Structure 1
Amino acid sequence: MTKRALKANKVYDVIIVPGIPFYEPTWDRVMQMRVIWAKHLYDRGIAKNIITSGGAVYSPYIEAEIMKEYLIAMGVPRENIFTEERAEHSTENVWYGYKLAQKKGFKSVAVCSDPFQSKMLYRFAKRKTKKQVKFLPAIFDTLRGLPHDTPVVNYAPLKIENFISITQRQSKWKRFMGTIGRHIDFKETD
């Protein structure tokens, strides 16, 4: 998506923010970028709602819940944030986020991420959602001008006990297959 496309005043019912591992005590630069960009799109009225997507994959924190807490701390109303906690890979963030959007009755859906991830996911989304999911990659020039304060978030209650990292549960090959969407049951109805 270009700056021109953002200026076209397209409004999306919901944007999907793909997760990234959270390692305490605070978010890393990629999570910060995705969350700040999502808040910017919400504040500008480009997104009416936000779906944060991601389970506890590499760290013992559910990525979707951590991002949700940061968004709330930054002023996005809780009732406008939905979490998808099943995804373990980027393709799953898009697919399960899209399915949640459909379940909630949202018609226009976009993925909000960095340009690299957006480019990597574009073909998958185009094929699997029949072009219904659009992309709103971060525009770094705009992002640089936005506040980058780190709000205080109580992440302790979000920690999963007896967590086992995906690197211990799956081989590199199986993780790669997940990355390209091979773990998704596209015929699953719920």
Structure 2
Amino acid sequence: MKKVGILLFILGAAAIGYGFLILAAASGTKFFAIWFLIGAFIIWAGYMTNGNHWHAVPPVVRIALAVLVTAAVVIVAAGTACIMTHFHDRAPDGLDEIIVLGAQVRESGPSRVLRSRLNAAAAYLAENPDTVCIVSGGQGPNEPCTEAEAMKEYLVQKGIPENQILEEDKSTTTVENLEFSSRFLNRKEDSVGIVTNNFHVFRSLKLAKKYGYRNCRGIAAGSTPLYLPNNILRECLGIVKEVMWGNF
């Protein structure tokens, strides 16, 4: 049992260390805190195991903890499996429009996550000059301008003509991205590509179909492998939220 306890201590410390890594990345959200909670729980479990303290915990509490941990593992495993079904999506040529979903903008410009989306969009638009590009994203409290403005500027610098780009600059969530962008297109008839990072494509397409996009395809942009566990875990919780809210 002591070996198990030591292993749990190591895993818990690794989770907390990873949380600090995500914090240092300045992602613009406070999701990094979940890694501190996970790490603290694993270290506590290691302490309980190493000191053989579990017998002092009432059986009903032990059962409840086992159920919660099992449920968490199942949710993450199922969510990850769903995410992977659209992880490498590529859209056909000749789409009527593509929508580039917004993400964090900093004083220096689009964040790494957003640059990945914009680079994927630029590559598609360069090969499909008749496709209209809708850049979608409002301005958060810690952003110097609207995401749409920064996105358009970045694409223009990449050689995409200004008249090929439309700005939707009010949205703050993925649902709003899709809702507000729809004023530039026909949800029932147009072929639409949703450009976002690979871990986010599954949920984005589900939401698009929920909100009336009849012919939508994913265009998966890359993501940084180091931050992928954090992004996938966050996305799994996002999927659970959408299921609870009836969006799937």
What's the TM-score once normalised by structure 2's chain length? 0.50
Task: Point out 4+ residue stretches in structure 1 off by more than 4 angstroms.
Answer: 1-6
The one-character-per-residue Cα deviations of 1:94-153 (angstroms, maximum 9, x if unpaired) are 2211232239xx82211111111111222211121153332222267xxxxxxxxxxxxx
The one-character-per-residue Cα deviations of 1:24-66 (angstroms, maximum 9, x if unpaired) are 1232211110110000011122871210001102423100010
| Equivalent residue runs for 1:1-190 within 5 Å | 6=91, 9-45=92-128, 48-58=131-141, 59-102=143-186, 107-138=190-221
The number of residue pairs the alignment matches comes to: 139
Task: Tell me the percent identity.
Answer: 25
Letter in 2 for 1:118: V
What CA distance in whole angstroms lies between the structure 2 residues aligned with 1:47 and 1:98? 18
What CA distance in whole angstroms lies between the structure 2 residues aligned with 1:115 and 1:4? 8
What CA distance in whole angstroms lies between the structure 1 residues aligned with 2:177 and 2:94? 21
What CA distance in whole angstroms lies between the structure 2 residues aligned with 1:135 and 1:100? 18
Higher relative contact order (CA 8 A, sep 6+): 1
The one-character-per-residue Cα deviations of 1:11-34 (angstroms, maximum 9, x if unpaired) are 111100011121112322111101
2:87–2:202 CA contact under 8 A, matched in 1: no
- Comparing 62-71 with 13-22, which one deviates more in the overlay? 13-22
What CA distance in whole angstroms lies between the structure 2 residues aligned with 1:112 and 1:83? 15
1:94–1:111 CA contact under 8 A, matched in 2: no
The one-character-per-residue Cα deviations of 1:65-94 (angstroms, maximum 9, x if unpaired) are 100001011100000000001111111112
What CA distance in whole angstroms lies between the structure 1 residues aligned with 2:113 and 2:180? 21
Tell me the secondary structure at the aligned position of residue 124 of structure 2. Answer: helix
* Distance change (3 Å), C-alpha of 1:128 and 1:121: same
Gaps of 5+ in 2: 1-85, 224-237, 243-248
Letter in 1 for 2:118: V
Gaps of 5+ in 1: 141-175, 181-190
Tell me the secondary structure at the aligned position of residue 185 of structure 2. Answer: helix
* Distance change (3 Å), C-alpha of 1:128 and 1:44: same
Tell me the secondary structure at the aligned position of residue 56 of structure 1. Answer: coil
What CA distance in whole angstroms lies between the structure 2 residues aligned with 1:39 and 1:138? 11
Letter in 2 for 1:102: N
What's the TM-score once normalised by structure 1's chain length? 0.64
RMSD: 2.7
2:138–2:146 CA contact under 8 A, matched in 1: yes
